[in-house]
Structure 1
Amino acid sequence: MNSTSPLLDVTDLTKHFPVMAGFPFKRKIGAVQAVDGLNLQISEGESLGLVGESGCGKSTTGRLITRLLEPTGGTISYRGQDITHAGRQKLAPIRSEIQMIFQDPYASLNPRQTVGKIISAPMEINGIKPHGGFERRVRELLETVGLNPEHYNRFPHEFSGGQRQRIGVARALASEPKLIVADEPVSALDVSIQAQVVNLLQQLQQELGIAFLFIAHDLAIVRHFSQRVAVMYLGRIVEIADREDLYAGPRHPYTRALLSAVPEATADDAPSRERIRLTGDVPSPVNPPSGCRFRTRCWKATDRCASETPQLVQVRDGTGGHLTACHYPEEPSLTPSIPQARTASDAPRPDKNPKAEG
Structure 2
Amino acid sequence: MNASPTSPRGAAHDEPLLRITGLKKHFPVYGGLVMKRRTGAVHAVDGIDLTIREGETIGLVGESGCGKSTTGRLVARLMDSTEGTIAYQGRDITHAGRKELAPLRSEIQMIFQDPYSSLNPRHTVGRIISRPMEINGIAPKGGTENRVRELLETVGLNPEHYNRFPHEFSGGQRQRIGIARALALNPRLIVADEPVSALDVSIQAQVVNLLRELQEELGIAFLFIAHDLAVVRHFSQRVAVMYLGKVVEIADRDDLYQRPRHPYTRALLSAVPEVDDTKTERIRLIGDVPSPINPPPGCRFRQRCWKAQDICAATEPPLIPQIGSATTHLTACHFPEDVSATIGGRTADAVGIV
TM-score bin (small chain) = over 0.9
CA displacement at 1:320 relative to structure 2: 2.4
Question: Does the CA-based 8 Å contact 1:100-1:183 persist in structure 2?
Answer: yes
Task: Report the counterpart of residue 288 of structure 1 in structure 2.
Answer: 295
Gaps of at least 5 residues in structure 2 are 6-12, 344-350
Matched to 2:103, the amino acid is P
CA displacement at 1:265 relative to structure 2: 3.5
Matched to 1:6, the amino acid is P
Task: Report the counterpart of residue 327 of structure 2 in structure 1.
Answer: 320
Task: Report the counterpart of residue 15 of structure 2 in structure 1.
Answer: 5
Count of equivalent residues: 336
Report which stretch shifted further, 178-187 or 121-130: 121-130
Matched to 1:279, the amino acid is I
Deviations 1:40-84 (A, max 9, x none): 000000000000000000000000000101100000000001000
CA displacement at 1:314 relative to structure 2: 0.7
| Residue aligned with 1:176, SS | coil
CA displacement at 1:277 relative to structure 2: 1.0
Task: Report the counterpart of residue 47 of structure 1 in structure 2.
Answer: 57
| Residue aligned with 1:32, SS | strand
| Residue aligned with 1:162, SS | helix
| Residue aligned with 1:10, SS | strand
Among candidates 168, 189, 206, match of residue 216 of structure 2: 206
CA displacement at 1:25 relative to structure 2: 5.2
How far apart in 1 are the matches of 2:318 and 2:123?
48
How far apart in 2 are the matches of 1:127 and 1:51?
36
Task: Report the counterpart of residue 351 of structure 1 in structure 2.
Answer: none
Among candidates 90, 101, 113, match of residue 123 of structure 2: 113
Matched to 2:84, the amino acid is G
How far apart in 1 are the matches of 2:118 and 2:297?
38
How far apart in 1 are the matches of 2:59 and 2:328?
15
| Residue aligned with 2:284, SS | coil
Task: Report the counterpart of residue 336 of structure 2 in structure 1.
Answer: 329
Q: TM-score, normalised by structure 1?
A: 0.91
Task: Report the counterpart of residue 193 of structure 1 in structure 2.
Answer: 203
Alpha carbons of 1:55 and 1:25: their partners in 2 closer, same or farther (altered >3 Å)? Answer: closer
CA displacement at 1:26 relative to structure 2: 1.3
Task: Report the counterpart of residue 265 of structure 1 in structure 2.
Answer: 275
Deviations 1:89-127 (A, max 9, x none): 000000000000000000000001110010011111112
How far apart in 1 are the matches of 2:74 and 2:80?
6
The residue correspondences of 1:221-300 to structure 2 (distance < 5 A) are 221-267=231-277, 272-300=279-307
How far apart in 2 are the matches of 1:252 and 1:18?
30
Alpha carbons of 1:79 and 1:335: their partners in 2 closer, same or farther (altered >3 Å)? Answer: farther
Q: TM-score, normalised by structure 2?
A: 0.93
The residue correspondences of 1:108-187 to structure 2 (distance < 5 A) are 108-187=118-197
How far apart in 2 are the matches of 1:92 and 1:324?
36
| Residue aligned with 2:145, SS | helix
Alpha carbons of 1:328 and 1:25: their partners in 2 closer, same or farther (altered >3 Å)? Answer: closer
Deviations 1:141-161 (A, max 9, x none): 000000000010110000000
How far apart in 1 are the matches of 2:194 and 2:342?
28
| Residue aligned with 1:63, SS | helix
Question: Does the CA-based 8 Å contact 1:229-1:246 persist in structure 2?
Answer: yes
Question: Does the CA-based 8 Å contact 1:256-1:335 persist in structure 2?
Answer: no
Among candidates 304, 313, 320, match of residue 306 of structure 1: 313
How far apart in 2 are the matches of 1:263 and 1:200?
23
Question: Does the CA-based 8 Å contact 1:226-1:243 persist in structure 2?
Answer: yes
CA displacement at 1:264 relative to structure 2: 1.6
Alpha carbons of 1:335 and 1:110: their partners in 2 closer, same or farther (altered >3 Å)? Answer: farther
Task: Report the counterpart of residue 9 of structure 2 in structure 1.
Answer: none
How far apart in 1 are the matches of 2:322 and 2:91?
31
Gaps of at least 5 residues in structure 1 are 337-354
Question: Does the CA-based 8 Å contact 1:250-1:335 persist in structure 2?
Answer: no
Deviations 1:266-303 (A, max 9, x none): 44xxx621111111001110011101000010000111
How far apart in 2 are the matches of 1:110 and 1:311?
44
Among candidates 81, 101, 109, match of residue 71 of structure 1: 81
How far apart in 1 are the matches of 2:341 and 2:295?
29
How far apart in 1 are the matches of 2:93 and 2:84?
11
Superposition RMSD on alpha carbons, in Å? 1.5
How far apart in 1 are the matches of 2:223 and 2:342?
27
Report which stretch shifted further, 39-48 or 22-31: 22-31
How far apart in 2 are the matches of 1:284 and 1:11?
24
Matched to 1:293, the amino acid is R
CA displacement at 1:23 relative to structure 2: 2.8
| Residue aligned with 1:16, SS | strand
The residue correspondences of 1:22-61 to structure 2 (distance < 5 A) are 22-24=32-34, 26-61=36-71
